[in-house]
Structure 1
């Protein structure tokens, strides 16, 4: 696997880990949004699209199919596979738990010293006045979702790049059947 694949996966993985760590700290009881969480969310979202798109392009260029993708994933070290599963699973769990904890309140705001949030629980969806604790809970839930959701996609991007790198490195090992050149390397089909 080339160094560009490793660098691409490392950038996506580090962003995913940092965003999930800040999301977990934010989700702790009694915590509000960690200082700098919104800036990290903006950086993560800004990096998400190019990293994810480049990962998908690398998979297409490696001519990945369902079967070869699965075999290449199995060729990755167990620790790497476990880390990807933890990142994706942890991101999903944090997102769903924070949505459940938010008590169906979204978009918290302060107007004229009062706390308001959009209530999706009642039959009529409207902006209602809420207590300070409900406001802080909705604010925390929004911050967690804004961090955890892009972190999942960044972890998927890291996995896609590693799979593409494995496919490009050793197509014979994953059933590609490409013959070896006499001087080394593989003949592109």
Structure 2
């Protein structure tokens, strides 16, 4: 991670968009992942230097997070997505219900994504056909988007995945 990554927590974030829906409705169609990520990304990218590029990059990252929540298999509850903006970062906070076993998988993946060997872990996960999908997705977000990742348990029934992405500063 870059030096900028290590200083991300000190930045103030301004709310941009909040979205909430019942997991049962969300889980009724796989296309909701793509539809919601495109909608949210377009809504918060209108004022960026290159809104189309910004929306495309943000939509891709959002889609990965929505897919993780979709794969959780849904425990009754709500999907909640907050998008906020710091000076050079977009913050995605996605909360969704999941089992304790799933939360453990996400914690392991988050630890790998935050560690000094994140790139090596990501390449190993890509090369191993038995890799846990959560590892590949979360490591991919950290590596490909130079994103920082953190997790927060909510009431012992849900998990919030927080992703800080320097979308404006990405080269690709």
TM over 0.5: no
Bigger-Rg structure (1/2): 1
* TM-score, normalised by the number of residues in structure 1: 0.25
Query: Which has a greater percent of helix?
Result: 1
Query: Which has a greater percent of strand?
Result: 2
* TM-score, normalised by the number of residues in structure 2: 0.27
